[in-house]
């Protein structure tokens, strides 16, 4: 086995163990930390401070995706336990209110937080992780099937090889990644072919760093599409 693979194995194990130990309150504390609070405040929609405001809902959602049991019911069960552990009154374990609150999450807030945290990680990366002083970024993506609705069929048309009336709408998700840190810097979702050009064009302006803290140009590597 290559020495780099052996050296990365303990790191991967540590990341998996750490992610399993993260609770929704850890994410909530991060979202309300001064480093992210301004970004959150700028994107928060008008809302009433009920049981599931946007910050609480997003915290629960992120913890849900990392948990081995990622069901909404398990998420609510853990939420009630955490509330009691933090001397807060318990709430119902019914999932309806949480699911509705999750659907109301503003995508602009989630996207802004992704960009802010991703570039923050890249800026904190060691200089040795750069190539000749340049931050190396990768553009890669995958395809996903969408719900078979008329709106999705129009927004995400199926491949031309697909017989009419069969199959599901297909969308492509593309991410801009920092090679040195592995951080996701930006994402795009759209019909196949369109979003890859969108991300690469957005960040390919010559001699224009993507981060205000950057001191040199970036090098972007775009992988060849597989479908």
Strand order across the 170-178 sheet: 184-190, 170-178, 135-145, 218-222
Which of 77, 59, 73, 51 is closest to 22 using CA atoms? 59
Q: Among all chains, which residue has been given the structure tokens 């040795």?
A: 128
The sign of the dihedral angle between the CA atoms of 217, 218, 224, 227 is negative
What integer pLDDT is reported at residue 45 of this predicted model?
A: 75
Task: Tell me the residue ranges of DSSP E strands in the chain.
Answer: 135-145, 170-178, 184-190, 218-222
Helix (H) or strand (E) holding 196: helix 194-202
What is the pLDDT at residue 99? 95
Which pLDDT belongs to residue 207?
Answer: 36
Neighbour tally for 96: CB within 10 Å: 10
Q: What is the pLDDT of residue 216?
A: 47
Contact 118, 177 (CB under 8 A): no
- In the chain, which residues have pLDDT < 50? 1-2, 205-216, 227
Confidence (pLDDT) at 211: 46
pLDDT digits over 86-123, tens only? 888 989 999 999 999 999 988 888 899 999 999 988 98
| Domain map (residue ranges) of the chain | 7-105, 128-223
Query: What phi and psi values does residue 47 have, to the nearest 5 degrees?
Result: -155, 160
CB 174 within 8 A of CB 188: yes
For position 93, what pLDDT does the model report?
Answer: 93
């Amino acid at each position: 086995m290559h020495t780099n693979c052996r050296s990365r194995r303990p790191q991967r194990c540590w990341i998996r163990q750490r992610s399993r130990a993260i609770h929704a309150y850890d994410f909530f504390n991060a979202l309300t930390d001064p480093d992210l609070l301004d970004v959150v405040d700028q994107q928060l929609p008008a809302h009433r401070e009920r049981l599931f405001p946007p910050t609480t809902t997003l915290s629960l959602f992120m913890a849900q995706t990392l948990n081995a049991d990622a069901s909404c019911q398990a998420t609510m069960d853990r939420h009630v336990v955490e509330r009691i552990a933090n001397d807060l009154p318990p709430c119902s374990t019914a999932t309806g209110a949480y699911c509705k609150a999750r659907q109301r999450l503003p995508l602009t807030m989630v996207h802004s937080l992704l960009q802010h945290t991703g570039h923050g990680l890249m800026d904190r990366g060691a200089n040795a992780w750069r190539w000749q002083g340049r931050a190396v970024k990768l553009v890669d993506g995958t395809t996903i099937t969408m719900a078979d609705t008329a709106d999705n069929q129009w927004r995400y048309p199926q491949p031309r090889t697909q017989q009419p009336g069969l199959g599901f709408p297909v969308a492509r998700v593309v991410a801009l990644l920092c090679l040195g840190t592995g951080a996701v810097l930006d994402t795009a979702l759209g019909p196949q072919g369109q979003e890859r050009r969108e991300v690469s064009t957005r960040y390919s302006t010559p001699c224009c760093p993507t981060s205000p803290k950057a001191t040199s140009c970036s090098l972007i590597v775009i992988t060849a599409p597989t479908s």
